[in-house]
């Protein structure tokens, strides 16, 4: 989306300039939303039947980062294809928090059983799949150690605690 690549500078001391900046962002979000909504199919035609898909959930989460700049994240229903078949999976609303030692990822995945949840971690990338209902791929702010990680699931909320790999942390290699 183009608003993520925006590099416009604004005068932080002029509140009207900041509001114009946010107006531009929200106009782009609206245009993007309408474009994505047009691309989404509300029904999938399979041989001999039409299956209604819904509800369509789509939105943006906006927070202010530690540097004072807005962080915009998408969430909602994501159309994808698996083995040539169209499939609709919801993208869960996810929050990523970082401490000195770990990264905590909280995802809302209501209506799935704990046994249906699959989590994969590679370097600084996390992939969450909850049955055929939810899917999310997350770029983490730092590399993590999958061995020192744990996940809990309670009342539709998945919490994943990932231990960060510290710089300079290594293993001793025995010479044979």
Mean pLDDT value across residues 113-120: 92
Mean pLDDT value across residues 33-57: 59
Chain centroid, CA 65 distance in Å: 16
Given a cut of 70, is residue 89 above it in pLDDT? no
Global confidence as pTM = 0.53
Q: What is the pLDDT of residue 3?
A: 46
Domain ranges of the chain: 1-86, 92-166
Residues whose CB falls within 8 Å of the CB of residue 53, separated by 6 or more in sequence, listed in order: 41, 42, 43, 44, 88
Share of residues in the chain with pLDDT > 90 (%): 19
Cis peptide preceding 57, ω within 30 of 0: no
**Architecture of the CATH domain 92-166:** Sandwich (2.60)
Given a cut of 90, is residue 160 above it in pLDDT? yes
- DSSP reduced 3-state for 118: strand
- Considering only CA atoms, which of 143, 140, 127, 132 is closest in space to residue 77? 132
Q: Tell me the per-residue pLDDT of 117-145, one tens digit each, with 9 for 90 and over.
A: 999 998 889 999 888 778 888 989 888 88
Exposed e or buried b for every residue in 100-114, given b needs 16+ CB within 10 A?
Answer: eebbebebebeebee
Report which of residues 115 and 41 the model is more confident about: 115
């Amino acid at each position: 989306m183009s608003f993520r690549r925006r590099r416009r500078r604004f005068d932080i001391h002029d509140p009207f300039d900041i509001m114009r900046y946010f107006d531009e962002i929200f106009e782009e979000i609206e245009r993007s939303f309408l474009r994505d909504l047009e691309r989404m199919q509300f029904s999938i035609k399979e041989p001999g039947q039409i299956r209604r898909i819904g509800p369509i959930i789509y939105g943006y989460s906006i927070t202010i980062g530690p540097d004072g700049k807005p962080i915009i994240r998408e969430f909602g229903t994501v159309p994808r294809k698996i083995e040539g078949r169209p499939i609709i999976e919801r993208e869960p609303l996810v929050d990523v928090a970082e401490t000195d030692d770990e990264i905590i990822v909280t995802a809302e995945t209501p209506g799935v059983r704990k046994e249906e949840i699959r989590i994969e971690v590679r370097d600084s990338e996390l992939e969450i799949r909850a049955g055929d209902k939810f899917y999310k791929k997350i770029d983490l702010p730092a590399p993590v150690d999958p061995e020192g990680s744990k996940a809990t699931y309670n009342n539709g909320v998945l919490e994943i605690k990932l231990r960060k790999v510290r710089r300079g942390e290594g293993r001793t290699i025995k010479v044979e």
